[in-house]
Amino acid sequence: MKEKLLSRKEREREFKKQEILDAAVKIFAQKGFKATTLDEIAEKSEFGKGTLYNYFSSKEEIYKEIIMMIINNHKNSIIEVYNSTDTLYDLIFQTTKKDLLFCLKNKEAFFLLVFTKMHHEKSTTSEISNLMDAGEKEIMSLIIKRTKKAIKNKEIKNLVPDRIIRLFKSSGFAYIYDLLIHGDITEESIEDETKFITDILFNGIRERNKRAKL
């Protein structure tokens, strides 16, 4: 919607800004905020160091814009899935699948996100934390709504929604992370992996009709 009114000049500017962000996200993801230098970003983005300051007012702002970008992507993705599914299972399945795909294609962005979540670098102003929390909250409220509906509809057992969601979020997140780290995932195996994790969460892993021998 914003893009509508941009002149060529402005479009070019946006393009260059994006180039810088693309370069920066990779380095930030690899080294973290503090250990990343502007020299590195400048070199990777093929701009002069001074030029960066024509687009961003500080190193921190670059970081902030990257985080925003990732969060919005993710949020929009979830909203879209939310609107096109009915059951909790489908929501979880589709979301996880989409996340996996996104992460696979934007490994750096993903790591950066994880990294920032874990990392409470106070130097990186709490503003960033706030942005993340805000995005998180919107997503959460959607999932909670759907979970309650799933309980009501007897799709799942009557468990505390907060706990379930915490488990979903964290499990999915962590599992994806582990997969990416160890590298044994391709675009083809995504459907399969997604099914694996979603099904376990929904069905558990216990053998049903037999007694475990101890």
Partner DNA sequence: CATGAATGAGAATTCATTCAT
Partner DNA sequence: CATGAATGAATTCTCATTCAT
- With b for 16 or more beta-carbon neighbours within 10 A and e for fewer, the 95-124 pattern comes to bbbbbbebbbebbbbbbbbbbbeeeebeeb
Interaction between residue 59 and DNA (CB under 7 A): yes
Interaction between residue 171 and its own copies (CB under 8 A): yes
Site for DNA in 2-21 (CB under 7 A): 9, 13, 16
Interaction between residue 122 and its own copies (CB under 8 A): yes
Interaction between residue 124 and DNA (CB under 7 A): no
Among 167, 187, 191, 195, binds its own copies (CB under 8 A): 167
Instruction: Determine the Cα–Cα distance for residues 156 and 151; give it in Å rounded to an integer.
Output: 5
CA angle 178, 135, 173 (to 5 degrees): 10
Task: Choose the contact partner of 201 out of its own copies, DNA, none; CB within 5 to 8 A by kind.
Answer: its own copies
Instruction: Determine the Cα–Cα distance for residues 62 and 171; give it in Å rounded to an integer.
Output: 30
Q: How far is the CB of 24 from its own copies (least distance, A)?
A: 16
**Does residue 187 contact residue 101 with C-beta atoms inside 8 Å?**
yes
Residues that bind its own copies (CB under 8 A): 30-35, 86-87, 89, 111, 114-115, 118-123, 150, 153-157, 159, 163-164, 166-167, 169-171, 173-175, 177-179, 182, 196-197, 199-207, 210-214
